[in-house]
Structure 1
Amino acid sequence: MEMLVFGHGYSAGHLTPLLTAAGWRVTGTTREDTARVAATGATPLLWPGQEDEVRAALARAEAVLVSAAPTEAGDPVLAAFAEDLPQAKLRWLGYLSTTGVYGDRQGGWVDEESELDGSGPRGQARVRAEAAWQALAKAHGLPLHIFRLAGIYGPGRGPFAKLRAGTARRIVKPGQVFSRIHVEDIAQVLKASIDQPQPLGIYNLCDDDPAPPQDVLEHAAHLLGLPVPPAVPFEDAAPKMSPMARSFYADSKRVRNDRIKTELGVSLLYPDYRTGLAGVLAAEGDGAAWTPAAAHDGTDA
């Protein structure tokens, strides 16, 4: 069994060990960091650069995961391999999108049936990319699955380093709420879908507890035993934020995740940011002995 990953990054790096343990061979493309890809257990290929080798891997693959973001010019995988994908003998094709396709709902709830109204250039690019993948899949009978990811965090991608360095900012925008997903839960959802494909399925990947970003940072500070950073009004912080950071604050919504539970039978390892942050701290070697099961006994609520 072989999988090809276009854009083998953080999420694919956590999926790969699950697949290799189950007997899969994983090949992942990267622009330059072949050592990082190899360290996860995948075979790295440079793309752009090794197009012939990528096409050969695609021809062998039973599964393909697309984790490369669209640009203003469109989806880079479709631009390079749209003619090759229909020739592959795939039983699973996954596209990693984002909950940004729903746009701003002023704190309201969305699910997979909600209208797509992506905010700004990045959100609109994702809406167009999803539509392009769906069109290709329907035209050629490809087993496409779309995964709309909320804010991703996990080991190496948490707030702890900035808190220790004293650079973390508790930015407060009244009414702002985000959904999140721990990277290990992304990996287990993808693995569950690969094991039981449901072509043309669309899944939101997020935890059960949408929350304001300042609450998450405050809890992380408590876990470290550090002072909670003072609140900074969004309007004061915005001029110093990157365009990408500002774009996250443009949308406020709560995302439902029922479908990954009912259709894929997934039980989240980290159903809220409290269990998730404790897990990150333990994984980074800074927390006490901790397991996902222990977090469900109410001691970290």
Structure 2
Amino acid sequence: MSAPSVLIVGCGDVGSRLAKQLLACSWQVSGLRRNIGQLPAGVKGVAADLFDAQCPATWPVETPDYLVYCTAASQHDEAGYKAAYVDGLKHVLGWLAERGQTPRRLLFVSSSSVYAQQSGEWIDEKAVTEPQGYSGTVMLDAEQLALAGAVPATIVRLTGIYGPGREWLLSQVRQGYRVTEEPPLYGNRIHAEDAAGLLAFLLKADADGRALDDCYIGVDDAPAPLAEVMAWLRDFMGVTQWSEQERVRRTGSKRCSNARARALGWAPQYPSFKEGYAAILEGRSE
């Protein structure tokens, strides 16, 4: 039996990490992006622009066993989000239909922005989704498009991704910015390597014949108040000065649960922000 094949649409940071993990398991991996020269070694390039409705000439001739849609918006406004997540997905689903291809499953990478809870509630996949901002609203529209398509789909709602190159919070700590402690502003995180690891785990579980739910939340084991995270980082990094400014994250405060993914057998390599940020700061997180 040949190894499964996967086409990763939007093969950027998380997609490239996923590609490397699957290549290590002998999967056949194709990656779609504008600049295929930036794909990891071993990934077959599919040069394409998701904003162009015309099927790319490099689209795979053989039907990929799996499709992972994990693009990122290049323009951070409502139009940019709609182009990346809704219009782009429509194009990809259209290309599949045009070629008569039906993969076994689509993994659509979404975001916890579909949840608008703000009082520190625990959130799971069954929690109400009533996004208040354009990002969550557009993402929810894209999720519904994925679930309504001809390809069986699973939604993966990733929380705040951090890792090498995603170090905004570390820069804030270095500059001595403060954060309000009360009420606690709970944040949810997942290391980029764990985000890719969850996607890889779900693909391999499906390939092994295990039943997947239609949605999973990608988050580590320990949602924590932002003030606690910054205090730990200050201590770990030896930052002693304070800024006169105070930076407060004004978006929702909620605690996301990974119980559903864990029940399937997944576990994060970096169970909390402490392990993840320590690895980054010590140069052990690639």
Give the structure-2-normalised TM-score: 0.81
Give the secondary-structure state (helix, strand or coil) at the position aligned to 1:104: coil
2:218 equivalent in structure 1: 205
Q: Distance in 1 between matches of 2:104 and 2:244?
A: 49
Amino acid at match of 1:175: P
Query: Shift of residue 71 of structure 1?
Result: 2.5
Alignment CA distance shift 1:199-1:269 (3 Å): closer
RMSD value, Cα = 2.8
Q: Distance in 1 between matches of 2:171 and 2:136?
A: 27
1:120 equivalent in structure 2: 133
Gaps of 5+ in 1: 238-247, 286-301
| Matched ranges for 1:89-238 at <5 A | 89-136=102-149, 140=150, 142-159=151-168, 162=171, 166-167=174-175, 169-172=177-180, 174-197=183-206, 198-227=211-240, 229-230=242-243, 232-234=245-247
Give the secondary-structure state (helix, strand or coil) at the position aligned to 1:71: helix
Q: Distance in 2 between matches of 1:193 and 1:2?
A: 14
Alignment CA distance shift 1:134-1:200 (3 Å): farther
1:67 equivalent in structure 2: 70
Query: Shift of residue 168 of structure 1?
Result: 5.8
Give the secondary-structure state (helix, strand or coil) at the position aligned to 2:155: strand
Within the alignment, does 1:269 sit opposite 2:273 as a pair?
no
Deviations 1:224-267 (A, max 9, x none): 22326447444xx6xxxxxxxxxx6321111011011112x012
Asked if 2 retains the 8 angstrom alpha-carbon contact of 1:163 and 1:221, the reply is no
For these two proteins, the number of residue pairs brought into alignment is 265
Q: Distance in 1 between matches of 2:250 and 2:261?
A: 26
2:88 equivalent in structure 1: 77
| Matched ranges for 1:27-42 at <5 A | 27-31=30-34, 33-37=35-39, 39=40, 41-42=42-43
Asked if 2 retains the 8 angstrom alpha-carbon contact of 1:14 and 1:40, the reply is no
2:75 equivalent in structure 1: none
Q: Distance in 2 between matches of 1:110 and 1:161?
A: 26
Gaps of 5+ in 2: 73-79
Amino acid at match of 1:208: D
Query: Shift of residue 44 of structure 1?
Result: 3.1
Q: Distance in 2 between matches of 1:40 and 1:160?
A: 31
Greater helix fraction, Structure 1 or Structure 2: 1
Identity of paired residues, percent?
26
Amino acid at match of 1:255: C
Within the alignment, does 1:280 sit opposite 2:280 as a pair?
yes
| Matched ranges for 1:237-276 at <5 A | 249-263=250-264, 265-276=265-276
1:53 equivalent in structure 2: 57
Give the secondary-structure state (helix, strand or coil) at the position aligned to 1:29: strand
Alignment CA distance shift 1:47-1:217 (3 Å): farther
Amino acid at match of 2:180: V
Amino acid at match of 1:14: R
Amino acid at match of 1:27: S
Alignment CA distance shift 1:101-1:231 (3 Å): farther
Give the secondary-structure state (helix, strand or coil) at the position aligned to 1:130: helix
1:242 equivalent in structure 2: none
Alignment CA distance shift 1:42-1:220 (3 Å): farther
Q: Distance in 2 between matches of 1:229 and 1:215?
A: 16
Alignment CA distance shift 1:171-1:40 (3 Å): farther
Alignment CA distance shift 1:188-1:81 (3 Å): closer
Q: Distance in 2 between matches of 1:260 and 1:40?
A: 29
Q: Distance in 2 between matches of 1:160 and 1:254?
A: 18
